[in-house]
Amino acid sequence: VTIRESLEVRERLESGATLPAEWYVDADVFRLERERIFEHTWQCVGIAEGLQSPGDYLTATVAEVPVVVVRNKAKGLRGFVNVCRHRCSEVVLEPHGHRNVLQCHYHAWTYDLDGQLISAPRSDREPDFDLADYCLVPVQVGALGPYVFVNLDLDAPPLAHYLADLPERMRVDGLELDGLVYNGHWEQEVAANWKVVVENFDECYHCPVAHPGFSKVMEVDPEGYRLEWGTWTSRAVTPLRTYPGGPDGHYPYDVSGPVKVGQFAYLWPTFTINQSPGPRAVTAFYMVPLAPERTLLVTESHIDPTTPDAVVKDRTDFTREVFNEDVVLVESVQRGLRSGRVRHGRLLLDSERLIQHFQLLVSSALDSSADRGC
Ligand code: FES
Ligand SMILES: [Fe+2]
């Protein structure tokens, strides 16, 4: 993406046009996004529930780089590129587990929980071999409540810098990350570019049309639906409907509870955190870009442990229903973008301002003249 192209796109974005359709299918753009966005930003890799004791670990892939996050002996979280310094096998293969040391499954080079190489079979026969020269490559680790993040760039500002006042704003509207219990995980691969998924998340213009169940619970008209954004985050807040919408006159789940508003927050580039009215509960939803037209969607859910089982089930069904409706939408958009017959869409900024905010971040990040510290 040349400077001239970036500036041209930027001008169009300011006036409400969307990013060019080819940015959602082109392998070169995807590669550039990896270099300029995903190698320098905070990516969620899972939850901390399985990382309580020294030696507990999880593995993930960030910008096509295998990573491992482990609880060390000092009880801190450490993160490493999960690639052996011997001959580049992944050190750990399992998605999560517990180990006293990180021993490579290929030739048993063995690293401690701080990434130091502590043994390499037969290396004592090599005259110049010093274990200290071959520690695992570190990555940054951060956390928000139970969510664990990794940043491949050791010079990137901390996660808190990007979150800024978002956690406090969410707390004011009832988002509680402490005292909840884990309520399950699901993931699904979809045939859409990651940006299509973010953009679908960033607006509720489609809610009355595509989410009848959701629209029974929360106000979805522009007067009730508040949008706000900061440098790296954005958020929509909407109250519980005072009466259920729709002809059948009932809510899809029991909405009684302390939480009176829905909120849907986004952190650049691929993380969202969400709350629906009713019992205290939170759902994180994040994306792992796999290819220009393939994205893994991951959902992690937590809920107040006193919530009755029937309510937990109804809420889980509700969330899944909205998720499934969104999958149909994003895959449909992807087919339209791939056609290349409509190069720029047109945002309605009153309802879709957060998409513009997101697309400006994308275009700035890809602008070859921009500071890479995005
Ligand atoms: S590649 Fe890891 S020990 Fe050989
Ligand atoms: Fe949706």
DSSP-assigned beta bridge partners for residue 149: 44, 142
> Which ligand minimizes its atom distance to the CA of 91?
1
pLDDT for res 245: 67
State the pLDDT at residue 9. Answer: 87
Give the model's confidence band at 369: pLDDT under 50 very low, under 70 low, under 90 confident, else very high: low
| Predicted model pTM | 0.95
106 lines ligand 1 (CB under 6 A): yes
Residue 183 in this model has a pLDDT that exceeds 60: yes
Other C-beta atoms closer than 10 Å to the C-beta of 91 total 26
Which tokens go with 308?
């009755």
pLDDT value of residue 1: 65
User: Which pLDDT does position 234 carry in this prediction?
Assistant: 98
* Sheet with 102-103, side-by-side order of all strands: 102-103, 110-111, 117-119
Q: Which ligand is nearest to the CA of 209?
A: 2
Per residue in 4-61, pLDDT tens?
Answer: 777 788 999 999 999 999 999 999 999 999 999 999 999 999 999 999 999 999 999 9
**pLDDT-derived band at 324, boundaries 50, 70, 90:** very high
Ligand 2 center to 181 CA (angstroms): 25
**Given the CA of residue 108, which atom of ligand 1 is nearest to it?**
3
- Report the C-alpha gap between 215 and 218 in whole angstroms: 5
Phi and psi at residue 119, in whole multiples of 5°? -160, 150
Find, among 66, 83, 275, the residue nearest to 174 by Cα.
275
Tell the residue nearest (CA) to atom 4 of ligand 1: 107
Does the Cβ of 87 fall within 6 Å of ligand 1?
Answer: yes
Q: Which two three-digit tokens encode residue 355?
A: 């998409």
Backbone angles phi, psi at 356, to 5 degrees: -60, -45
Q: Residue 173 pairs with which residues in a beta bridge?
A: none
| Ion ligand 2, residues whose Cβ is below 5 A away | 326
Query: From CA 91, how far away is CA 102, in angstroms rounded?
Result: 7
Sign of CA dihedral 255, 258, 261, 267: negative
In the chain, where do the E strands start and end?
43-47, 56-62, 65-71, 77-81, 96-98, 102-103, 110-111, 117-119, 138-144, 147-151, 181-190, 226-229, 233-239, 261-267, 271-275, 281-291, 294-303
Is the pLDDT score of 371 beyond 90? no
pLDDT tens string 144-155: 999 999 999 999
H helical segments located in the chain = 3-14, 27-33, 159-163, 166-172, 194-201, 207-210, 212-217, 309-339, 349-366
Ligand 1 pocket: which of 68, 82, 83, 87 to mutate (most atoms within 8 A of CB): 87
The answer to whether 140 touches 151, Cβ cutoff 8 Å, is yes
- Least reliable range by pLDDT among 2-6, 102-106, 146-150, 268-272: 2-6
Round to whole Å and give the CA distance between 80 and 71: 12
pLDDT at 367: 85
Ligand closest to CA 218: 2
Report residue 227's pLDDT band, with 50, 70 and 90 as the boundaries.
very high
